[in-house]
Amino acid sequence: MNIFSGIIEIFTSTDYMSYVWNGLGKTLLISVFASLLGLVLGIIVALVKISYPKRKKALCVPNAICSAYVTIIRGTPVALQLFIMVFAIFAIRGFPVEITAILTFGINSGAYVSESIRAGILSVDKGQTEAGLSLGLSGGQTMRLIVIPQAIKNVIPTIGNELIALIKETSIVSMVGIVDLTFAAKIIGAGDKMADYLVPMLVAAIFYLAVVYILTFVIKYVEKRLRRGDRT
Partner 1 sequence: MSEVLIKTVNLEKSFGDLHVLKGINEEIKKGEIVVIIGPSGSGKSTFLRCLNLMEQPTGGQVIFKGTDLTAPKVDINAQRQKMGMVFQHFNLFPHLTVLQTMTLAPVQLKLKSKEDAEADALALLEKVGLLEKANEYPNMLSGGQKQRVAIVRALNMEPEVMLFDEPTSALDPEMVGEVLEVMQDLAQSGMTMAIVTHEMSFARRVATRVMFVDEGVIAEQNTPDEFFDNPQNPRLKEFLSKVKNV
**Binding residue (CB under 8 A) for partner 1 from 95, 138, 205, 209:** 138
Contact flag: residue 225 with partner 1 (CB under 8 A): no
Contact flag: residue 230 with partner 1 (CB under 8 A): yes
Residue 141 phi, psi (nearest 5): -65, -40
Amino acid (one-letter) located at 186? K
Q: Which is nearer to partner 1, 177 or 229 (CB)?
A: 229
Total of chain residues touching partner 1, rule CB under 8 A: 24
User: Among 23, 29, 37, 51, which residue's Cα sits nearest to residue 162?
Assistant: 37
Contact flag: residue 215 with partner 1 (CB under 8 A): no
Cα distances (angstroms) measured from residue 198 to each of 20, 51, 195, 206, 208: 15, 51, 10, 12, 15
Contact flag: residue 161 with partner 1 (CB under 8 A): no
Q: How far is the CB of 126 from partner 1 (least distance, A)?
A: 9
Contact flag: residue 175 with partner 1 (CB under 8 A): no
**Binding residue (CB under 8 A) for partner 1 from 17, 84, 97, 137:** 137
Q: CB under 8 A: which stretch of 43-51, 139-147, 162-170, 193-201 binds partner 1?
A: 139-147
Contact flag: residue 131 with partner 1 (CB under 8 A): yes
Contact flag: residue 171 with partner 1 (CB under 8 A): no
Q: Which is nearer to partner 1, 77 or 149 (CB)?
A: 149
Q: CB under 8 A: which stretch of 91-99, 137-145, 174-182, 194-202 binds partner 1?
A: 137-145
Contact flag: residue 216 with partner 1 (CB under 8 A): no
DSSP string, the chain: --HHHHHHHHHH-HHHHHHHHHHHHHHHHHHHHHHHHHHHHHHHHHHHHHHTTT-TTTTHHHHHHHHHHHHHHHHS-HHHHHHHIIIIIT--TT--HHHHHHHHHHHHHHHHHHHHHHHHHHTS-HHHHHHHHHTT--HHHHIIIIIHHHHHHHHHHHHHHHHHHHHHHGGGGGGGT---HHHHHHHHHSTTTTS-SHHHHHHHHHHHHHHHHHHHHHHHHHHHHHGGGS--
Contact flag: residue 133 with partner 1 (CB under 8 A): yes
Q: CB under 8 A: which stretch of 2-10, 44-52, 123-131, 173-181 binds partner 1?
A: 123-131
Contact flag: residue 12 with partner 1 (CB under 8 A): no
Instruction: Give contact residues for partner 1 (rule: CB under 8 A).
Output: 125, 127-128, 130-138, 141, 145-146, 149-150, 153, 226, 228-232
